[in-house]
Amino acid sequence: MTASAARPHILEAEGLVKRLGAVVIADGIDLRIDKGSIVGMVGPNGVGKTTMLGLLSGDVRPDSGTIMFNGRNVTNLSTSSRIRLGMGRTFQIPRPFAGLTVFQHALLSAQQAGGLYGSAANERAVWAVDACGMMPLINVTGANLRLLDRKRMEVARAIAGSPSLVFLDEVAAGLSVFEVNELTGMILLLRDGGITFLWVEHVLSALLATADRMVCLGGGHLIADGTPAAVLRDPLVVESYLGSAEFVGLE
């Protein structure tokens, strides 16, 4: 048993089933996320990783199964209700409001997701911007941000809502090696500050640098679950996703 196994669960999904036509996204999936951890989710393109985040965050309803968040059954709750309970999310393609500043994006989240107003909302927004290393850009509009900064603002907007669990969807995609290092450092600091992450990502170096645990989705099942190095060496993962463990520098 690993040290993280002794932590309480922040999220517990049991028996999740979801089919989209002939495509099976989840076929009785069980998934548990420990508080204070970073869990990476990998798998081939088109296998349903983003849909899985939607199931857990409330954007997609499961055909059957249950989702518990901090001990509460949230299976039938809306996305907005889950956000108010402490879930946050980023999306694959950042779509900032072009005319709003970094601060205004965070402020809207603090108000609408976090339920804060006045000085409390302002303080939370500034904290989120600062935690994501964006204070020099706090008054820059979304239209004028480079890709890395749009990604960081996505995270700032998510954490401004005061979540205890954040779903990250390919926030490292399209970034340089240096930018990925900046991003992973930021995520580790946020984890150390008490935020739990479930991170869907194809940039494996980001997960190897941050994740306590990794799962691989394939064919409607979690075909591997363990430490990142162990999962990326798993024969099923190599066959269905990587092609070779050497591909990610594990050999």
74-102 residue pLDDT tens: 999 999 999 999 999 998 888 888 899 99
User: What six digits make up the tokens of 61?
Assistant: 């309803």
C-alpha separations of 241 from 39, 92, 123, 146 in Å: 18, 20, 43, 30
Tell me the residue length of the chain: 251
Low-confidence ranges of the chain (pLDDT < 70): 1-6, 243-251
Query: What structural domains and CATH numbers belong to the chain?
Result: 3-86+164-243 (3.40.50.300), 95-160 (no CATH)
Helix (H, G, I), strand (E, B) or coil at 250: coil
pLDDT of residue 4: 43
Main-chain phi, psi angles of 161, to 5 degrees: -80, 10
Burial of 30 (0-12, 13-18, 19+ CB in 10 A): middle
Q: How far apart are CA 206 and CA 74, in angstroms?
A: 30
Q: Give the DSSP letter of residue 120.
A: H
Using a cut of 0.75, tell me whether the model's pTM lies above it.
Answer: yes
- In this prediction, residue 111 carries a pLDDT of 96
Q: What's 47's DSSP letter?
A: S
